[in-house]
Structure 1
Amino acid sequence: MTIRFAPSRNARELRMAKVRLRAFSAHAANDNAQAETPDDALLHAALRHFAQHGMAAAQRARKQSETAFFAGDRASYRWWLDICRILDKRLASQLVAETDAR
């Protein structure tokens, strides 16, 4: 038995459906257009870090970043913060909020 889906008889309703469909298909759901893209070396380091530590990689990167921050090593702090940001943006923004408060 063949099932046939026919368009709505109401032309206005059909036009509104097309408008809504275009709005949904304008951008990919995972498109982070406003976020800056990391350089290749940083992305490679983040992927390697994830390969070593799995799902705990973001937490470990945050811990490394905190350690560098309290040691006064700003370059390492930024490096590990950027790795943490690639792996988990929310965790990285919490770290920035905590370190900016100090």
Structure 2
Amino acid sequence: MTIRFAAAWGGATPAIMRSLCRSAPLGAVNDNHRMLTVRRIARRPARVIAPVEGDGEILTEALRHFGRHGHAAAAKARSEAIAAHTGGDHKGRDRWIAICRQLDRRMASSCELSLLSEDG
């Protein structure tokens, strides 16, 4: 969910403009730059963990998981995926990675790559 700030208008300019440093650039920075994404995809192994069916169910599970664990939910889902992988439960691993992906895409991708590199 995007949160937008709208400053109160004080005459012709917003009140916040008087307090901002004019020499500092105010441009937003996108940390998901396209070139970084392209480089990461190029390094991916040929075999990728299959997506889990039923995205609506995964979203519901991810929201419930977030409700139980709060901001640590993605890390907990990653831990569950690693535990399932260690136990040989590939369906469980895929499900937990899908839940982690709903909460933190980068964490899920790095977990997925590390688990695939362990398989060989």
Instruction: Give the shorter-chain TM-score range.
Output: 0.5 to 0.7
User: What letter matches 2:69 in structure 1?
Assistant: H
3-state secondary structure, aligned to 1:101: helix
Q: 1:74 — aligned with what?
A: 90
Name the CA distance, whole Å, in 1 between partners of 2:113 and 2:96.
15
Residues 1-102 of structure 1 aligned to structure 2 (within 5 Å): 39-102=55-118
Name the CA distance, whole Å, in 1 between partners of 2:101 and 2:59.
11
TM value normalised by structure 1: 0.62
| Cα drift, residue 39 of structure 1 | 1.7
Q: 2:20 — aligned with what?
A: none
Per-residue displacement from partner, 1:42-62 (whole Å, max 9, x unpaired)? 100000000000000000000
Q: How many residues are treated as equivalent by the alignment? A: 68
TM value normalised by structure 2: 0.53
User: Tell me, which stretches of 5 or more residues in structure 1 are unaligned?
Assistant: 4-35
Name the CA distance, whole Å, in 1 between partners of 2:112 and 2:55.
20
| Cα drift, residue 100 of structure 1 | 1.1
**Root-mean-square deviation (CA), in Å?**
1.8
Name the CA distance, whole Å, in 1 between partners of 2:58 and 2:97.
11
| Cα drift, residue 89 of structure 1 | 0.4
Name the CA distance, whole Å, in 2 between partners of 1:42 and 1:100.
22
User: What letter matches 2:115 in structure 1?
Assistant: T
